[in-house]
Amino acid sequence: MSNMDTIFNKNFWIRQWENDKKNDTFNVHKGFSTPEYWDKAAPTYNQNKDEVKNRRLEKTVLFLKQSNLLFKGMKVLDIGCGTGMLAIELAKHGAKVTALDFSKGMLEKFRQDITPDIKNNISVFYEDWHKIDIESKGWEKNFDLVIAFMSPGVASPEAFFKMMQCSKNGCAIRGWAAKRTHPILSDLWKKIMKTPLEDKPQSILYKINLLFSLGIFPEITFDEIEWDKTSRVKEEFEQQMAFFNKVSKKSYLELEEIIYPYIESLSENNYIKRHHKGLTATAVWKVDAAMVLNQ
């Protein structure tokens, strides 16, 4: 098989994706893929206007409309909906949204933001995408659009294919497309893991290439994002503890003795200010559900 044949082979990209488990990127993903982490992150989420602006809601809505994937009465499945910013925006445009997340903290913030005018357009579920049986729920080929934006729920080939199996029309994903800056995490990684952090983009690049191998060619856009986030020392400490409790073999007490003094040393008047910067990719495509089911 030639190199060109290889890169257009579905199994090649599945293997590349699965091999990603051997490096820091996979371990970083593990840290960010627990309900505990997102429960701790929820109180500081969407507080900064620049952070909200970086969700690119207007651009996303326009992108979906141009792809004929946003219309009144359509059925949407939002996997890893978080605080529901996109789900709420789609509901305002007349979509019937089924939104799920495995973080109670995120869903609590989501429910608080649902206004009476769209209450009947949104169904919120406390669910883990990896554990859902889409056949028993009747979700196979049931939704006009299935989305997973910045979601750890579709970080494996199996979860990604399951996502596409739920769509009868289109899908959309968003994820990190380049190495991003997270200095606090990097410093703590060196202290705890004893190696420099080598965090590459998450799996969206594998997803896009896997789509190419299936003969699916998505519309792709890239966005540079940048914002500051402020949190209390206790909030930052609890987030970092939740993260490293998943990726490290150290005990809770050992982690606490490393993390708390470091966080406190960065604080000013009991607050921590973090600068975020990165590049995201958004991919939107039409689904041939029969083809996906036969893969």
The pLDDT tens digits for 133-150 are 999 999 999 999 999 998
Mean pLDDT of all residues in 267-280: 88
Distance, in Å, from the CA atom of 167 to the CA atom of 256, rounded to the nearest integer, reads 44
Which pLDDT belongs to residue 48?
A: 54
Sign (positive or negative) of CA dihedral 66, 54, 130, 109: negative
pLDDT > 90 in the chain, percent? 59
Q: What rounded mean pLDDT belongs to the chain?
A: 87
Q: How confident is the model at residue 290 (pLDDT cuts 50, 70, 90)?
A: very low
Which pLDDT belongs to residue 171?
A: 97
Distance, in Å, from the CA atom of 252 to the CA atom of 124, rounded to the nearest integer, reads 33
Which pLDDT belongs to residue 228?
A: 82
Which pLDDT belongs to residue 202?
A: 60
The pLDDT tens digits for 238-271 are 999 999 998 899 999 999 999 999 999 999 999 9
* Number of other residues whose CB lies within 10 A of the CB of residue 121: 20
- Which of 32-46, 93-107, 148-162, 204-218 shows the lowest per-residue confidence on average (mean pLDDT)? 32-46
Which pLDDT belongs to residue 2?
A: 52
**For residue 38, is pLDDT > 80?**
yes
Indicate the pTM of the whole model: 0.87
Q: How confident is the model at residue 29 (pLDDT cuts 50, 70, 90)?
A: low
Which pLDDT belongs to residue 274?
A: 81
Q: How confident is the model at residue 54 (pLDDT cuts 50, 70, 90)?
A: very low
Which pLDDT belongs to residue 177?
A: 87
**For residue 285, is pLDDT > 60?**
yes
Distance, in Å, from the CA atom of 24 to the CA atom of 18, rounded to the nearest integer, reads 13
- Residue 192 near residue 255 (C-beta atoms within 8 A): yes
> 250: which 2 tokens?
């150290």
Q: How confident is the model at residue 22 (pLDDT cuts 50, 70, 90)?
A: low
Give Cα separations from 244 to 27, 195, 236, 253, 254 (angstroms).
Answer: 10, 14, 12, 12, 11
Q: How confident is the model at residue 179 (pLDDT cuts 50, 70, 90)?
A: confident
Mean pLDDT of all residues in 284-291: 73
Q: Under 8 Å CB-to-CB from 177, ≥6 apart: which residues?
A: 201, 204, 205, 222, 279, 280, 281
